[in-house]
Amino acid sequence: MPVWQLLAVFVALILLTALTVLQASLGLGNLELILSLIIATIKASLVILFFMHMIHEKPLNAIIFLSSFVFVALFIGFTLMDAAGYRDSLEYQQIDSTPPPAVEHAE
């Protein structure tokens, strides 16, 4: 990595940080989350590609590392899939009270 490349990546990262702070102050609502995640991902890509030398890395190592993000996506994606299905609060009484034994019902 030549020095100019390291410095260019650093300057780009700082500018993107400024951009993400700026867009957060615009009050874009839901768009803000998406935008800041996109900017963060661009920053992460710059760090991975240049600071972590991923562009020169052996394909096997690159596949191993990048596959972790596939599993993170699966993990979070599957968790969020039924996020709307939860109750707002625990219903303690239903959990605590045991149903009467079946024998008593039979009588």
Partner 1 sequence: MSHEHTSAHGAGHHGDGHGGHGDHGHLPFLAHHFDDPEQQFDSGKLGIWIFLVTEVLFFSGMFCAYSLYRSRNPEVFMFASQFLNEALGAFNTCVLLFSSLTMAWGVRCAQLRQKNGLVLCLALTLGCAAIFLGVKAVEYTHKWDIGLLPAGSYLAQPEVPVHHEGLSPWLINLSIVPGILLVAFAVWLVITFVKGDKRMSEIAGTLLATAACYFLGVFVGLKFQEAEASSSAHAAHEISVEHDGDTGSHEAGVTADEHAQGQPAESATSESANDHVSGTTGTEAPLKEIEAHLVSLDAPKVVPGAPLDAMVNQKGGAGLFFSIYYCMTGVHALHIIGGMVVMVWLLVRATKDQFHEQYFGPVDYVGLYWHLVDLIWIYLFPLLYLIK
Which positions lie near partner 1, rule CB under 8 A? Answer: 1-3, 5-7, 9-10, 13-14, 17, 20-21, 24-25, 27, 32-33, 36-37, 39-40, 43-44, 47-48, 50-53, 56, 58, 60-61, 64-65, 67-69, 71-72, 75-76, 79-80, 83-84, 86
d(CA 107, CA 92): 29
Minimum CB distance to partner 1, residue 11 (Å): 9
Minimum CB distance to partner 1, residue 96 (Å): 19
Minimum CB distance to partner 1, residue 101 (Å): 35
* Residue number, 71 or 101, with CB nearest to partner 1: 71
Minimum CB distance to partner 1, residue 9 (Å): 8
> Do residues 50 and 8 make contact, with C-beta atoms less than 8 angstroms apart?
no
Please report how the helices 30-46 and 3-24 are oriented relative to each other, as an axis angle in degrees rounded to 10: 170
